[in-house]
């Protein structure tokens, strides 16, 4: 791997910010290949050089996987001139070049967005063949009738004639206005178009899980955190 700044490498892994790295270097708590570091900007190869932070071997991973609780009004993109994007919400200590959202939520949809720099992983989880299940909570303007619920489960036909794969829908409230929907495909505005085909409009939409990995309930809207290797497996396995 190419040489990179030590502070950038350490900060890219999420636990320490660049300021933390500078402080730790001043305190003599960072070593590379057994020698204490005096310059936090020194160039190292994260794969072959042995980095030690506070007496522990520093585990470097080539890619990063971030769980974001997306607020309304933020665009699912890496860049969008004049608009705030999900990548803009990634704090400095997790930020690295090449981050993008693996799959999109509409600007007015909230909830779980996975941000990564691992193109192969994103391709894998988004490919139509392997499309992982995603769970949403939708608040509708009117309840979906029993016949339409059944259509949902066998495959709704959208206004443009597209036949959706069977999806799961479960009313969560007695008035039938709040429903849980599980989808295995990700067409543009899919839930809004599926519910429209059943005569209901989506007032609010929130993604609460990807595969069997749930959105961390301790994340406030706009907050994000790293996804662990075990959690990542929960998405891949589904
Ligand atoms: N379906 C939609 O209609 N919008 C989303 O953001 C996600 C799924």
Summarised one tens digit per residue, pLDDT across range 138-182 is 999 999 999 999 999 999 999 999 999 999 999 999 999 999 999
Q: How far apart are CA 135 and CA 232, in angstroms?
A: 16
209 lines ligand 1 (CB under 6 A): no
**pTM: predicted TM-score of the whole model, two decimal places:** 0.82
Tell me which of 191, 193, 200 to substitute to probe ligand 1's pocket, judged by most ligand atoms within 8 Å of the beta carbon.
191
Residue 184, ligand 1, Cβ within 6 A: no
Best of 205, 207, 208, 210 to mutate for ligand 1, by most ligand atoms within 8 A of CB? 205
> Known catalytic residue: 106?
yes
CATH 3.10.290.10 domain range(s) in the chain: 4-57
pLDDT at 126: 87
Cα-to-centroid distance, 167 and ligand 1 (Å): 14
Would you state the pLDDT for residue 204? 98
Residue 196 is predicted with a pLDDT of: 96
The reported pLDDT for the residue numbered 158 is 96
Residues of the chain with CATH 3.30.70.580: 65-128+212-235
For domain 4-57, the CATH superfamily is: RNA-binding S4 domain (3.10.290.10)
CATH topology of domain 134-210: Alpha-Beta Plaits (3.30.70)
Contact 103, 125 (CB under 8 A): yes
109 lines ligand 1 (CB under 6 A): yes
* Residue 128 clears pLDDT 80, i.e. is over it: no
* CA 156 – ligand 1 centroid, Å: 15
Q: For position 100, what pLDDT does the model report? A: 97
Question: What pLDDT, on a 0 to 100 scale, did the predictor assign at position 23?
Answer: 97
d(CA 173, CA 139): 10
For residue 113, what pLDDT is reported? 98
How do residues 174-220 score in pLDDT, each as one tens digit? Answer: 999 999 999 999 899 999 999 999 999 999 999 999 999 999 999 99
Probe residue for ligand 1, chosen from 103, 109, 133 as the CB with the greatest number of ligand atoms within 8 Å: 109
Q: Which residues pair with 169 in a beta bridge?
A: 181
What is the residue whose two structure tokens read 């339409």?
148
CA of 108 to the centre of ligand 1 (A): 9
Give me Rg for the CA atoms of the chain. 21
CA of 105 to the centre of ligand 1 (A): 6
Structure confidence at residue 103 as a pLDDT band (50, 70, 90): very high
Query: Residue 13: its pLDDT value, please?
Result: 76
State if residue 138 touches ligand 1 by the CB under 6 angstroms criterion: no
- What pLDDT is recorded for position 237? 74
Mean local confidence (pLDDT), 117-128: 90
CATH of 65-128+212-235, one of 3.30.70.580, 2.30.300.10, 3.20.20.70, 3.30.200.20: 3.30.70.580
Rounded-to-10 torsion of CA 202, 217, 97, 20: 150
pLDDT over threshold 90, residue 127 = no
Locate CATH 3.30.70.1560 in the chain: 134-210
Tokens of 11: 């900060």
- The rounded Cα 34 to chain-centroid distance in angstroms is 36
**Å from CA of 82 to ligand 1 middle:** 22
Task: Determine the average pLDDT of the residues in 49-62.
Answer: 90
């Amino acid at each position: 791997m190419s040489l990179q700044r030590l502070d950038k490498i350490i900060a890219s892994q999420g636990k320490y910010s660049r300021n933390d790295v500078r402080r730790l270097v001043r305190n003599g708590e960072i070593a590379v290949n057994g020698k204490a570091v005096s310059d936090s900007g020194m160039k190292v190869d994260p794969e072959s050089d042995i980095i030690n932070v506070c007496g522990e071997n520093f585990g470097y991973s080539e890619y990063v996987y971030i769980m974001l609780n997306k607020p309304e009004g933020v665009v699912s993109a890496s860049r969008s001139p004049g608009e705030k994007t999900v990548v803009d919400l990634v704090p400095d200590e997790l930020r690295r070049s090449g981050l993008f959202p693996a799959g999109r939520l509409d600007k007015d949809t909230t909830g779980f967005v996975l941000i990564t720099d691992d193109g192969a992983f994103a391709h894998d989880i988004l490919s139509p063949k392997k499309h992982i299940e995603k769970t949403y909570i939708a608040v509708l303007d009117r309840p979906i009738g029993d016949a339409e619920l059944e259509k949902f489960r066998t495959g709704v036909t959208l206004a443009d004639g597209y036949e959706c794969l069977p999806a799961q829908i479960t009313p969560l409230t007695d008035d039938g206005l709040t429903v849980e929907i599980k989808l295995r495909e990700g067409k543009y505005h899919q839930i809004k178009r599926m519910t429209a085909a059943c005569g209901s409009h989506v007032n609010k939409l929130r993604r609460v899980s990807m595969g069997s990995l749930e959105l961390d309930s301790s994340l406030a809207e706009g907050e994000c955190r790293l996804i662990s290797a075990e959690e990542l497996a929960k998405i891949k396995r589904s």
